[in-house]
Amino acid sequence: MKALVILVALGVGLVAVATALGGEPAAIGGGIAVLAQLWAVVLLRPKLRAPNPEFMARWLGGIGIRFLGVGIVLIVSRTVPALLGYVGVLLPLLFLETRFLR
């Protein structure tokens, strides 16, 4: 639970930076990125020690959630700052994902 709170706090901080750099569209993209990453971590976490097929199913589900996020950003905003906000928030969260899964 503590790791999820840290994930959300870090995500909100990254969204604030994205908003300062790209305005409201970047905030929309960053917010969707935080939600997608949180959903993916919550999906994967219970099956970390499961057999490989179960783990991979959840892992691929997380990848699908992130691609769904890109689609939502494209549908809702259709601007470059929104996409950059999505990528700019999601990438740091992805690099730190193993810390959130402990």
pLDDT at 39: 95
In 3D space, the residue among 81, 68, 78 whose CA is nearest the CA of residue 27 turns out to be: 81
pLDDT tens digit at each of 102 positions of the chain: 788 899 999 999 999 999 999 999 999 999 999 999 999 999 998 888 889 999 999 999 999 999 999 999 999 888 899 999 999 999 999 998 887 777
Rounded to an integer, what distance in angstroms lies between the CA atom of residue 69 and that of residue 61?
12
pLDDT at 16: 97
pLDDT at 21: 95
pTM of the model: 0.91
